[in-house]
Amino acid sequence: MTWTRAVLIAAALVFAVAAMLAQSNPATSSSAGPPAVNQAQDNKAAPAEKPKTSDATADGDYVGSDTCISCHEDQSRRFNRTAMGKAMAHPHNPDEAHGCESCHGPGRTHVEAGGTKDTIPVRFTEDSRNTVAEKNYACLQCHSRRNQLFWRGSPHESRAMACVDCHQAHQELHHPLSHEARFNAPLSENESLREPQPELCLRCHQMRRAQLQRSSHMPYREGKVTCTSCHNPHGTPNPSQLRQTTVNENCLSCHTERRGPFLWEHPPVMENCVNCHEAHGSSNPQLLKMRMPRVCDSCHDSSRHPTTPTLLNSVRDFNRGCTNCHSSIHGSNHPSGNAFLR
């Protein structure tokens, strides 16, 4: 019993000492706690101050659109009437809120220099000292999606073309109300182009200009299509900057009656429309690369029909063509249409 009592007394003393230590530790921790917490908070807040400092420095170089308008009132008036000016009147991000300087860069140096044009960080005029990459970067900050998604690496970008070679931001485009207006793009298009389509594209693509003047041509002169009806000038992952994945898909988006599927398919038709047709224009009917029957003879040998070359005005070929009999040349759904006769 004496031994058991001694063990109980020792255990009681241990618990008492532990309780005394527990009461003393909170005071110590509480007294040492705030500096540690404050130090941790200071460490977390320190990196956040750097962006504020850098933002303040960047904002200090911006003078605001009101300062620009005080000298460039005429340019501002024209710009506000354009599609881009109306969009930037209601900014969606901090970059657009800078107004003029969102494209031309911070204007403090320009103002302090008395307004000399060489002190503008980014200029888009023909006498600009900025490189094409610098000019395009100002545009691509906003215009880098949708139609412009594949601009980098596109044929036009790889040939060092600047956005301002085709587009203009300040000058409002006025469509002439004349008989020539039917050759241009629809009036509903507002893309700040320097010239209406297709004249804008034909400045460089002179071969297409000649093809579109031929007797059989794409109906651009009738105002039914423009260059961008088939092509995306900003680049696509498709051949020839086509909007659709293949030539056939591009053509069939309008010529839906040729799409099929057909019970009897004509292989060259299913392969590529330009096997037989010249897309932009031809001197032959139906945009054909060659006249009938030569366009068919280029594939079909003389095992069934005679294909001896003759003059186009020969009696043998006069008013004759393969499609006089093989009328369903693009494909047939008739059970007996294997020869495309019906």
3 assigned to some structural domain: no
Q: How many CB atoms lie within 10 A of CB 88?
A: 23
Is the predicted pLDDT of residue 273 greater than 90, yes or no? yes
- Which one, of 75, 89, 175, lies nearest residue 125 by Cα? 75
Region 313-335: mean pLDDT is 80
Is the predicted pLDDT of residue 303 greater than 70, yes or no? no
* 186 and 221 in a common domain: yes
Which of 57 and 252 is assigned the larger pLDDT? 252
Query: Which value, in Å, is the radius of gyration of the alpha carbons in the chain?
Result: 37
* 77 and 160 in a common domain: yes
Is the predicted pLDDT of residue 145 greater than 90, yes or no? no
Find the range with the poorest average confidence among 66-80, 245-259, 310-324: 310-324
* 135 and 78 in a common domain: yes
Residue 253, C-beta contacts closer than 8 angstroms, at least 6 positions apart: 243, 244
Q: How far is CA 255 from CA 48, 247, 269, 330, in A?
A: 59, 12, 13, 12
Find the range with the poorest average confidence among 28-42, 105-119, 247-261: 28-42
Instruction: Please write down the long-range contacts of 195-201, taking CB distance under 8 Å and 24 or more positions apart.
Output: 197/226, 197/227, 197/228, 198/226, 198/227, 200/166, 201/227, 201/233
pLDDT digits (tens, 9 = 90+) for 32-84: 444 443 443 343 333 333 333 334 345 668 888 888 988 888 888 888 888 78
The percentage of residues in the chain with a pLDDT greater than 90, rounded to a whole number, is 31
Residue 340, C-beta contacts closer than 8 angstroms, at least 6 positions apart: 264, 266, 326, 327, 328, 329, 331, 332
89 assigned to some structural domain: yes
Residue 275, C-beta contacts closer than 8 angstroms, at least 6 positions apart: 268, 269
270 assigned to some structural domain: yes
Per-residue model confidence (pLDDT) at position 61: 84
**Beta bridge pairs of residue 331:** 265
* 157 and 133 in a common domain: yes
| Residues 165 and 233: beta-carbon distance below 8 Å | no
End-to-end Cα spacing for the chain? 120
* 226 and 275 in a common domain: no
173 assigned to some structural domain: no
Which of 260 and 182 is assigned the larger pLDDT? 260
* 135 and 102 in a common domain: yes
Per-residue model confidence (pLDDT) at position 321: 78
Q: Which of 112, 139, 165 is the last residue of a domain?
A: 165
* 159 and 85 in a common domain: yes
Full residue range of the structural domain in which residue 307 is found: 261-332
* 186 and 158 in a common domain: no
Find the range with the poorest average confidence among 88-102, 161-175, 205-219, 295-309: 295-309
Taken in order 231, 234, 239, 245, the sign of the CA dihedral is negative
pLDDT band at 86 (very low <50, low <70, confident <90, very high): confident
* 233 and 275 in a common domain: no
User: For the chain, what is the mean pLDDT?
Assistant: 79
Tokens of 195: 């010239």
pLDDT band at 30 (very low <50, low <70, confident <90, very high): very low
Q: Look up residue 68 and give its amino acid.
A: C
Which of 51 and 22 is assigned the larger pLDDT? 22
Per-residue model confidence (pLDDT) at position 251: 93
Find the range with the poorest average confidence among 24-33, 190-199, 331-340: 24-33
* 310 and 278 in a common domain: yes
Write down the pTM of the prediction.
0.70
83 assigned to some structural domain: yes
Number of structural domains in the chain: 3
1 assigned to some structural domain: no
Beta strand spans in the chain (E): 216-217, 264-265, 281-282, 331-332
* 140 and 98 in a common domain: yes
